[in-house]
């Protein structure tokens, strides 16, 4: 297979390396990662590149940070971190997990927040929440947004906000809502009404405080005191940005040792619809967020945007530094994005090191929608590794 870049033909057929480079069994991911977000990768992926291509104290960056998997994993490995995402939810979901609270202190603090069960949201949420749950949720929302506006938001507030954002809706008893879609995508109200009728269900009361405490305990269940201190220490120098990945002036030139990232892929994910409820809870305009996130309709438009991203990544990467760019498979494998990403990287000035295809066998056991499927399948990641 040959590709063109700067009027030069490159043969990439010998660059492919197919193996099981990392697996969930190889290193159990830390429980602190267990926050749902659309199109996120497992921590084992950045762990592989961080361990193999950097040393302690190096700077790790993710321009499309999402739930913060790369930067959290880097911090746990004693690397300095920079996270960026044009979606402001990203910082809400990631930064709070660098300052892990004491559970007893969290519980006391949470129970001192005044809840008024008679409060109602400014939008109709009756298809998701019992009226008492809605009152508690609106009380918590008002408390957090008022503290944010006053500039008095502390680390406990940020932790509570992060956990609550993740518990808004889901398909188990551990969420504030009635049974609905998985937590990484919130269905629209009219769709939830259909789900409720189909399942003959109505929202039952959920104790928001108890759910937040339970999820908090789960998030920190296997993290050590040493790791807590390390995360807190790394947080002091961490940089959290809410910028377009093509324009990150706050990052110094030639300062980043390794970037590990997975960009938005064409129009596969509708970030506005998936995050409308999370945005509401956090006082964010979901429509504006949806407009900002790269949602190119075709691979040519996507490539033009990514070319500018790569030019910025080349600027901030140290000489000898690396970029691990997860490309995945689009349109059921019909589009292999590495064939587009490699010329983009070469045009920006990077050298191509290799193309890693990580294949992991697994057994599907999904029964969320009443469909049992125990057949074996393959979960693969496709990563292009560049070097400056």
In CATH terms, the fold of domain 2-98+224-387 is Rossmann fold (3.40.50)
pLDDT at 219 over 60: yes
pLDDT band of residue 275 (cuts 50, 70, 90) is confident
Query: Is residue 32 within 8 Å of 72, Cβ to Cβ?
Result: yes
Segment among 64-68, 110-114, 336-340, 352-356 with least mean pLDDT: 336-340
**pLDDT attached to residue 366:** 37
Domain boundaries, the chain: 2-98+224-387, 103-218
pLDDT digits (tens, 9 = 90+) for 280-293: 999 998 887 776 66
Query: Is residue 343 within 8 Å of 279, Cβ to Cβ?
Result: no
Segment 38-61 shows an average pLDDT of 91
CA 114 to chain centre: 31
**pLDDT attached to residue 26:** 46
d(CA 215, CA 355): 38
pLDDT band of residue 327 (cuts 50, 70, 90) is confident
pTM assigned to the model: 0.89
**pLDDT attached to residue 8:** 54
Which of the two residues, 117 and 295, has the higher pLDDT score?
117
Q: 4 forms bridges with which residues in the sheet? A: 9
Burial zone of 154 (CB within 10 Å; 0-12 exposed, 13-18 middle, 19+ buried): exposed
**pLDDT attached to residue 358:** 77
Segment among 2-11, 62-71, 256-265 with least mean pLDDT: 2-11
pLDDT at 4 over 80: no
User: Which run of H or E residues covers position 232?
Assistant: helix 225-237
pLDDT at 328 over 80: no
Over pLDDT 90: what percentage of the chain? 68
pLDDT band of residue 28 (cuts 50, 70, 90) is low
d(CA 2, CA 10): 5
Distances (CA, A) of 345 to 222, 226, 305, 350: 39, 38, 12, 5
Over pLDDT 70: what percentage of the chain? 83
pLDDT digits (tens, 9 = 90+) for 227-254: 999 999 999 999 999 999 999 999 999 9
Mean pLDDT across the chain, nearest whole number? Answer: 87
**pLDDT attached to residue 237:** 97
Question: At a CB cut-off of 8 Å and minimum separation 6, what does 300 contact?
Answer: none
Which of the two residues, 139 and 38, has the higher pLDDT score?
139
Segment among 190-199, 251-260, 358-367 with least mean pLDDT: 358-367
């Amino acid at each position: 297979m040959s590709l063109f870049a700067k009027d030069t033909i490159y043969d990439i057929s010998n660059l492919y390396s197919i193996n099981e480079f990392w697996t969930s069994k190889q290193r159990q991911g830390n429980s602190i990662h267990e926050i749902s977000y659309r199109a996120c990768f497992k921590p084992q992926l950045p762990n592989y590149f961080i361990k193999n291509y950097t040393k302690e104290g190096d700077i790790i960056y993710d321009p499309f940070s999402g739930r913060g998997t790369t930067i959290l994993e880097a911090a746990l490995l004693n690397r300095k971190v920079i996270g960026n995402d044009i979606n402001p939810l990203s910082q809400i979901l990631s930064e709070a997990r660098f300052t892990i609270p004491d559970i007893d202190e969290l519980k006391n603090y949470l129970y001192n927040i005044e809840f008024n069960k008679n409060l109602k949201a400014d939008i109709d949420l009756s298809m998701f929440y019992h009226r008492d749950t809605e009152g508690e949720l609106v009380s918590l929302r008002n408390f957090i947004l008022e503290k944010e506006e006053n500039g008095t938001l502390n680390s406990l507030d940020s932790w509570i906000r992060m956990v609550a954002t993740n518990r808004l809706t889901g398909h188990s008893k551990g969420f504030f809502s009635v049974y609905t879609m998985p937590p990484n995508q919130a269905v629209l109200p009219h769709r939830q009404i259909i789900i409720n009728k189909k399942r003959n269900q109505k929202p039952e009361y959920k104790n928001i405080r108890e759910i937040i405490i339970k999820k908090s305990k789960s998030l920190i269940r296997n993290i050590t005191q040493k790791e807590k201190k390390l995360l807190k220490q790394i947080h002091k120098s961490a940089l959290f940005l809410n910028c377009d990945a093509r324009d990150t002036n706050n990052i110094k030139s030639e300062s980043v040792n390794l970037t590990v990232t997975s960009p938005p892929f064409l129009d596969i994910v509708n970030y506005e619809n998936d995050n409308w409820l999370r945005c509401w809870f956090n006082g964010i305009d979901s429509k504006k967020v949806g407009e900002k996130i790269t949602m190119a309709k075709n691979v040519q438009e996507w490539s033009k945007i990514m070319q500018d991203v790569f030019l910025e990544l080349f600027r901030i990467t140290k000489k000898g530094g690396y970029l691990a760019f997860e490309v995945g498979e689009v349109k059921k494998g019909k589009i292999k994005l590495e064939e587009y990403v490699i010329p983009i990287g070469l045009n920006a000035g990077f050298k191509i090191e290799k193309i890693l295809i990580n294949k992991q066998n697994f057994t599907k056991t999904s029964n969320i929608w009443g469909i049992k499927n125990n057949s074996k399948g393959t979960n693969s990641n496709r990563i292009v590794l560049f070097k400056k």
